[in-house]
Amino acid sequence: MGTGLKRKDLLGTRDLSPEEIGLILDTAISMKEIASRDIKKVPTLRGKTIINLFYEPSTRTRTSFEIAGKWMSADVINISTSSSSVVKGETLKDTGLTLQAMHPDVVVIRHSAAGAPQILAGLLKASVINAGDGAHEHPTQALLDLFTIREKRGTLAGLKVAIVGDILHSRVARSNIFAMQKMGMQVRVCGPPTMLPRYMDRLGVEVFSRIEPAIADVDIIMMLRIQLERQGGGLFPTLREYSKLFGLNLDRLKAAKQDVLIMHPGPINRGVEISPEVADGPYSLILNQVENGVAIRMAVLYLLAGGQAAAN
């Protein structure tokens, strides 16, 4: 007896039900086992075509989707727009329709404009997966974060999380807030006032502008990267000052619980938002997150493309 995700696309965690989230996490458990085999191959998506359409640079997410697709025998094509006709001025719509004419089964898109995946989803028959759209959502990141926490702690409900950093520009924070609250977790956000959205508390999160009270008695601390390429200036005086006030180092960790878990979506700025000792320390789940990213993306690809669940 199965259920499947009764949807064509995965655009965000905001409209996922707790049951759907649970299904994706449970499926990822089975997928993770494949990574431990000698022959990392199952025939499930044989003959399916997956196109990774990345308008923004990425190491983790794109490689993760590529490996996930290939381990399931799909044909994966990577388009990084810096070397495509987009530099000639081709619009998103035309790019989408061009790809549609080649009959992909799944298009994974990362774009700097919020809503771009939704536009593509309306245009294409293929399943569209949002790999990050502007500051809006990054659903597979939130799902792999939940998976990592659940794997370590056994459960999700009742856990307290503090997300620290540039909340204003963070799609990872948003997707995590929606997903975590659905699974019964309590979320706090923390950052300099210049990087905290004005009505943040309306999302049901506690807002802190100092890190020490934010991380006291939480079970998980999630650090966000200071996005050097996003801001010209004016949001913080210097990296050094940011690090001094909001960086996570061993000293600051003394304010937190003994067994607190440390997470970071990557890539980390060593010595800025997180010190090397904390990033490489025993309670850091940063590399677990990366490993689980492949399993979660395999689960999402399987649930959307492994069968004609919703498309017809």
Partner 1 sequence: MPGGPMSQRREKAQILDAAGITRAITRIAHEIVERNNGVQDVVLVGLRSRGVDLAHRIAVKLEEIEGTKVPVGALDITLYRDDLGKAETQPVVRRTEIPFAINDKKVVLVDDVLYTGRSCRAAMDALMDLGRPRLIQLAVLVDRGHRELPIRADYVGKNMPTSHQEQVQVLLTEEDGVDRVVILEEKAD
Q: Which residues bind partner 1 (CB under 8 A)?
A: 1-4, 23, 26-27, 29-31, 33, 37-39, 41-44, 72, 302-303, 306-309
Single-letter amino acid code for the residue at 138: H
Q: Considering beta carbons, is residue 31 or 222 the nearer one to partner 1? A: 31
User: What totals of helices (H) and strands (E) does the chain contain, helices first?
Assistant: 11, 9
For residue 252, which of 278, 282, 276, 225 has the smallest C-alpha distance?
278
Q: Considering beta carbons, is residue 22 or 115 the nearer one to partner 1? A: 22
CA distance 257 to 276: 19
Q: Considering beta carbons, is residue 29 or 102 the nearer one to partner 1? A: 29
**Phi, psi (degrees; rounded to nearest 5) at 253:** -65, -20
Q: Considering beta carbons, is residue 6 or 88 the nearer one to partner 1? A: 6
Task: Let me know how long the chain is.
Answer: 312
Q: Considering beta carbons, is residue 184 or 307 the nearer one to partner 1? A: 307
Q: Considering beta carbons, is residue 42 or 123 the nearer one to partner 1? A: 42
**Phi, psi (degrees; rounded to nearest 5) at 96:** -60, -45
Minimum distance between the CB of residue 295 and partner 1, rounded to whole angstroms? 11
CA distance 58 to 80: 9
Is the bond preceding residue 267 a cis peptide, omega within 30 degrees?
Answer: yes
Residues 6+ apart with CB under 8 A from 15: none
For residue 282, which of 259, 255, 298 has the smallest C-alpha distance?
259
CA distances, 239 to each of 9, 227, 228, 235 (Å): 38, 11, 9, 10
Minimum distance between the CB of residue 183 and partner 1, rounded to whole angstroms? 19
Burial class (CB in 10 A: 0-12, 13-18, 19+), 63: middle
Residue with tokens 């807002």: 207
State both tokens at 200.
């943040």
CA distances, 23 to each of 150, 177, 214 (Å): 13, 19, 31
CA distance 11 to 15: 8
Minimum distance between the CB of residue 300 and partner 1, rounded to whole angstroms? 12
